[in-house]
A and B are shown apart, each in its own frame.
Chain A
Amino acid sequence: EAQVTQNPRYLITVTGKKLTVTCSQNMNHEYMSWYRQDPGLGLRQIYYSMNVEVTDKGDVPEGYKVSRKEKRNFPLILESPSPNQTSLYFCASSFNPPTGELFFGEGSRLTVL
């Protein structure tokens, strides 16, 4: 089954404790992206990757890191989480360029206390 898998789905953590949200896709997509969803703000892009070893900042990259060492994986790293990073995070992938369906993961709800 074609899918984008994110883990963890739910996480409560404390300020400053490094965490990683993993994302994996099995569709051989070149393009992958991370979004955060906040009420009234829609989906805001954090980082995206056109292909392996190629990443670019989106609209809200501050406080986040990503890596793309393999085509299928695109982890999101929060080196020192803060409460303003409490949000619902979505990973997504598509063929390149993304002028076709963007497949989203189920989302990861992160709470930073």
Chain B
Amino acid sequence: GENVEQHPSTLSVQEGDSAVIKCTYSDSASNYFPWYKQELGKRPQLIIDIRSNVGEKKDQRIAVTLNKTAKHFSLHITETQPEDSAVYFCAALISSGSARQLTFGSGTQLTVLP
């Protein structure tokens, strides 16, 4: 099955700085890569996603880049704010025949220091 590795596991940045979280995946058949944010005690929620036919996608202060050749994708958060503090999960979807399996990375605890 798919294996998704996420780094770093913890990340602290000063408010206003940028944060970058990286993920690699193992199966070249993966074609959809979402990112989820989970605030403390809450459920994960989608913040941005990218499909395999696109190299980059941006939504205000967040962006995701995808390198299919290297099988890695990254989340970029600019001008970080305290409310960006949360756990972030990357994921990869593999479609094989009739199966559709979404595999998550192990998560990154982002702390934005005021």
Residues on A facing B (Cβ under 8 Å)? 31, 33, 35, 40-45, 48, 50, 56, 58-59, 90, 96-102, 104-107
In the complex, which residues of chain B have a beta carbon less than 8 angstroms from the beta carbon of A31?
A: 100
| Contacting pair B101 A42 (CB below 8 A) | no
Among A42, A96, A99, the residue within 8 A (CB) of B106 is: A42
In the complex, which residues of chain B have a beta carbon less than 8 angstroms from the beta carbon of A44?
A: 104
Query: How many Å lie between the Cα of A110 and that of B85 in the bound state?
Result: 26
| Contacting pair A59 B103 (CB below 8 A) | yes
**Shortest distance between the CB of A12 and any CB in chain B (Å):** 18
Query: How many Å lie between the Cα of A98 and that of B105 in the bound state?
Result: 17
Q: Give 26 CB contacts A-B under 8 Å.
A: A35-B104, A40-B9, A40-B106, A41-B106, A42-B105, A43-B44, A43-B89, A43-B91, A43-B104, A45-B102, A45-B104, A48-B102, A50-B100, A56-B99, A56-B101, A90-B43, A90-B44, A98-B32, A99-B31, A99-B51, A100-B49, A102-B34, A102-B36, A102-B46, A102-B102, A107-B43
- Which B59-114 residues have a C-beta within 8 angstroms of A? 89, 91, 93, 95, 98-107
In the complex, which residues of chain B have a beta carbon less than 8 angstroms from the beta carbon of A43?
A: 44, 89, 91, 104, 107
Among B43, B101, B106, the residue within 8 A (CB) of A58 is: B101
In the complex, which residues of chain A have a beta carbon less than 8 angstroms from the beta carbon of B45?
A: 104
**Shortest distance between the CB of B99 and any CB in chain A (Å):** 6
**Given A42-B89, A42-B106, A43-B89, A101 and B100 contact (CB-CB distance below 8 Å):** no
In the complex, which residues of chain B have a beta carbon less than 8 angstroms from the beta carbon of A102?
A: 34, 36, 44, 46, 102
Among B46, B93, B107, the residue within 8 A (CB) of A101 is: B46
Nearest B residue (CB) for A59: B1
Interchain residue pairs A-B with the least CB separation, the first 3 = A42-B106, A104-B43, A43-B104
Nearest A residue (CB) for B47: A101
B24 contacts the other chain (CB 8 A): no
**Shortest distance between the CB of B103 and any CB in chain A (Å):** 7
The 8 A CB mask of B23-65 against A (1 = contact, 0 = none) is 0000000011010100000011110010100000000000000
In the complex, which residues of chain B have a beta carbon less than 8 angstroms from the beta carbon of A40?
A: 9, 106
With contacts A44-B104, A104-B43, A104-B45 known, what are 13 further pairs, Cβ within 8 A?
A: A40-B9, A42-B104, A42-B105, A43-B89, A43-B91, A45-B103, A45-B104, A48-B100, A50-B100, A58-B101, A99-B31, A102-B34, A106-B43
